[in-house]
Structure 1
């Protein structure tokens, strides 16, 4: 299991005078792990794009539905969640272990704020196992090597990349990272990915992202829905495909919800 973090060392890495995406996301989700600087930035982004807070909620609910499908209907028992973010309600291990207590989950993030709260991510079921890696998405080999301490990489794994590839600006690098991760996993593994999109009919999203990239850290990269779909090349894309996160197998049979500019999908490696 992960050793306890060195909080003195972490304090030097946490910048409280500059808004940070993980803390703003936490603010939009109604969490308490954020500062006034994050709240001000979050409110300004919400002013530019009033629906932005719904993205966080839609992405979180998408995670829950995807994990419930994979643990319940597909029978997966291993999850590699990269870009974990700050713990909130219904984290990956909570959803998976509620269905299958023996599920194993490895969280990966290089954010010192997330690491400081890693204990909340390690409180899994006694039958299963959870671990946390302080690692960058780009360090694919290191992630896989360390994850293998908990996960059996000869058996199917759900690779969770929710709202994290947006931090890789170069397209070829971003696609290459996802491909290398999936290439290392066996048949039957699944990719769950979400990504902020840019589209002509959503100009306020572009304005909000531009504001963020000027004032916050780390920088975000938008991609078109078609470019997001490319992350699933070579995989069997599960219905309904790459869609607005709140339209991926919604829990209700009511009217189709309005789109948010956070798109996601689930693909299977055959």
Structure 2
């Protein structure tokens, strides 16, 4: 059970998707209400844990590609969630120790744990903000300290857009960050797929998220691909998460088990 300052505005009356996701990955930064909700989802849809693992593996592959092959040295991770092993800064700073990372999340547990983890890391910071509040994110002192928007950078939106409903214009949110970036910058997106791509009682599992702090909005591959408006897609395009530049051959069954698609775009 994690410990937090009593003044932290942590809502433990309802499950939180970031803390549930941490539980799926085997993390310890969650509460009983999160574990109970996650266990109910897993009872209905055991594939959820595999989905979470596939997404974490994609994160590691895409940021390694960006740091090694694309030569990107600065990263803005929007909706970064609870820190777990193999986080963005661990991967990219293994390539070069002074690669810079700004994590952004509005979930207090995620922010508190990130701050503790990063206390001795001068090239990494966490911003407590909702990614829809782009002015706070982009003008935050830590963002300005670490990121140079006159140079290419990578914006990561990995499983955060499903928590932005269409009424809040997720495409507009993506475009706002795109417009702050220069040519040669990248956008990485991973996004849960619509009901047709899940087996069993997926609708019942998604309904359970309506009782959480952030309801879930599933989308089709075409809808996810549309978020890359203005970008040139990097091969292999928007594909099942497991088959985006995999480290080893992936079967059709493994690909489908992603239950999500992912892609990487570069600004021309």
TM-score normalised over the length of structure 2: 0.91
Partner of 2:219: 223
The 5 Å alignment of 1:121-270 reads 121-122=117-118, 129-146=123-140, 147-170=143-166, 173-202=169-198, 204-213=201-210, 215-253=211-249, 255-256=251-252, 257-259=254-256, 260-270=258-268
How large is the Cα RMSD of the aligned pairs? 1.8
Conserved in 1, the CA contact under 8 Å of 2:75 and 2:100? yes
TM-score normalised over the length of structure 1: 0.91
Cα shift at 1:15: 2.0
Structure 1 portions without partners, runs of 5+ = 1-5
1:137-171: CA deviation from partner (whole Å, max 9, x where unpaired) = 11112211222221111000100111111111026
Conserved in 2, the CA contact under 8 Å of 1:194 and 1:264? yes
Give secondary structure in 2 for the equivalent of 1:80. strand
Cα shift at 1:125: 5.6
1:80 aligns with 2:94: no
Instruction: Tell me how many residue pairs correspond in the alignment.
Output: 260
Distance 1:136 1:224, change over 3 A: same
The 5 Å alignment of 1:39-118 reads 39-118=35-114
Give secondary structure in 2 for the equivalent of 1:86. coil
Greater shift in the superposed pair: 106-115 or 141-150: 141-150
Distance 1:201 1:223, change over 3 A: closer
Distance 1:89 1:83, change over 3 A: same
- Cα distance in 2 for partners of 1:172, 1:236 equals 25
Structure 2 portions without partners, runs of 5+ = none
Partner of 1:37: 33
Conserved in 2, the CA contact under 8 Å of 1:29 and 1:53? yes
